[in-house]
Chain A
Amino acid sequence: AQSVTQLGSHVSVSEGALVLLRCNYSSSVPPYLFWYVQYPNQGLQLLLKYTSAATLVKGINGFEAEFKKSETSFHLTKPSAHMSDAAEYFCAVSDLNFNKFYFGSGTKLNVKP
Chain B
Amino acid sequence: GAGVSQTPSNKVTEKGKYVELRCDPISGHTALYWYRQSLGQGPEFLIYFQGTGAADDSGLPNDRFFAVRPEGSVSTLKIQRTERGDSAVYLCASSSDRGQGNTEAFFGQGTRLTVV
From known contacts A43-B110, A103-B44, A106-B42, infer whether A96 and B105 are also in contact, taking CB-CB under 8 Å.
no
Contact yes or no, B31 A99, CB < 8 A: yes
In the complex, B109 has a CB within 8 A of chain A:
yes
A interface, size bucket: 20 to 34
What's the count of A-B pairs with C-beta under 8 Å? 65
Q: Contacting A101 at CB < 8 Å: which of B31, B41, B105? A: B105
The residue in chain B whose Cβ has the minimal distance to the Cβ of A90 is B42
In the complex, B71 has a CB within 8 A of chain A:
no
Give the interface segment out of A14-22, A44-52, A77-85. A44-52
The residue in chain B whose Cβ has the minimal distance to the Cβ of A4 is B42
Contact yes or no, B41 A105, CB < 8 A: yes
Contact yes or no, B41 A45, CB < 8 A: no
Chain B hits for A100, CB < 8 A: 33, 45, 48, 56, 59
Mask for A25-67, Cβ within 8 A of B = 1, else 0?
0000000000010000111111001010000000000000000
Q: Contacting A103 at CB < 8 Å: which of B42, B101, B108? A: B42
Contact yes or no, A99 B56, CB < 8 A: yes
Chain A hits for B31, CB < 8 A: 99
Mask for B24-60, Cβ within 8 A of A = 1, else 0?
0000000101010000111111001010000110010
In the complex, B91 has a CB within 8 A of chain A:
yes
The residue in chain B whose Cβ has the minimal distance to the Cβ of A103 is B42
- In the complex, how many angstroms separate the beta carbon of B61 from the nearest chain A beta carbon? 15
Chain A hits for B42, CB < 8 A: 4, 6, 90, 92, 103-106
Q: List, sorted by A's number, 29 A–B pairs whose CB atoms are closer than 8 Å.
A: A42-B109, A43-B3, A43-B4, A43-B106, A43-B107, A43-B108, A44-B91, A44-B107, A45-B107, A49-B104, A51-B102, A92-B42, A97-B99, A97-B101, A98-B101, A98-B102, A99-B31, A99-B33, A99-B55, A99-B97, A99-B99, A100-B33, A100-B48, A100-B56, A101-B105, A103-B44, A105-B40, A106-B40, A106-B41
- B residues adjacent to A (C-beta < 8 A): 3-4, 31, 33, 35, 40-45, 48, 50, 55-56, 59, 91, 93, 95, 97, 99, 101-110
